[in-house]
Amino acid sequence: MATPRKQAKKETKHQTPAKTSFTSPFIPKWNPLPQEDMHFILKTLRDKLISTGLEKREVKVFRLWRKKKEQKPAASSEPAPPQVGQDAQVCEPTKNGWTDVAARRQLAIGINEVTKALERNELKLLLVCKSVKPKHMTNHLIALSATRGVPACQVPRLSQSVSTPLGLKSVLALGFRQCSPKDHEVFTDTVDAIKARVSPLDVAWLQGAAHRVTAEDPAAMEEEAEKRRGQKRKIESESGNVSESSSSCTLQPLKVKKIVANPAKKKNTEKKKKKPVK
């Protein structure tokens, strides 16, 4: 008689482990820029850069790396005759760098240079390109601009329109520095025209606009210190009496999200064969 077959084990369904968490309401975001303001900002910047003639020039020169010993001129008191052809191009001095150094010092180009200038309170306007990838590379500039009181916005196609007149491959961030009264400001009219089109940044954990304090203004620093002392005394005196009108705290909306560790991972269900014991 045939032996009865063993019943196959039921396949157990494994639930994928997931962690439930709330989304943060304090994620910084750039305010959307209207299309009319975008075209106005790009046109104003392009016209100003072309009129100033600011450009980075790099002249590539052919260099002779392999030279024979026989071609080396012998040391003599007479000056060597000028060479003709490619060697003459090597001897000619090349002018590399920015065409207008004074105008270049009034700009902060690139994310790293803009970040350092914001930390030192040196900027009066900031423009960021929208095509930055990954996007979180410029998120820290929102909080820095809001705390320093610097108007900032994200402009689409900024790198395409500005990099060509500047002679650069890409411009992901462009900042305008504050100049001392001795220096001749080149971009004053441009900054004033663009500032009117930039909307204030909305940061959830900051109440109201930040007070602008420059590193070169000691009087403003002293005034701010006196205000802080006065506020500290007020808080100490009125610590017992807190009214509802003074509290301007608002609740931010939260959303639930589930984080799956690795949904595409397939577990190896096959059991390893035990080796025979000798």
* pLDDT the model gives residue 84: 46
Does the predicted model carry a pTM greater than 0.75?
no
46: Cα within 13 Å, side-chain hemisphere: 14
Exposure of 44 by Cβ count < 10 A (0-12 exposed, 13-18 middle, 19+ buried)?
middle
Domains in the chain (CATH in brackets) are 35-52+98-200 (3.30.1330.30)
What does the angle CA 154 – CA 155 – CA 160 come to, to the nearest 5 degrees?
Answer: 135
Structure tokens at 226: 């006196």
Could you tell me the CA-to-CA distances from 138 to 4, 120, 172, 180 in Å, in that order? 69, 18, 9, 28
Exposure of 125 by Cβ count < 10 A (0-12 exposed, 13-18 middle, 19+ buried)?
buried
3-state secondary structure of 248: coil
Give dist(CA 130, CA 128) in Å, integer: 6
8 A C-beta contact, residue 99 and residue 55: yes
pLDDT by residue, tens only, the chain of 278 residues: 555 555 555 556 667 677 787 777 777 889 899 999 999 999 999 999 999 999 888 766 666 666 555 555 555 455 555 454 444 444 444 467 899 899 999 999 999 999 999 999 999 999 999 999 888 899 999 999 999 999 999 999 999 999 999 999 999 999 999 988 777 889 999 999 999 999 988 887 775 544 454 444 555 556 666 666 666 565 555 555 544 444 455 666 777 777 777 666 655 555 555 666 66
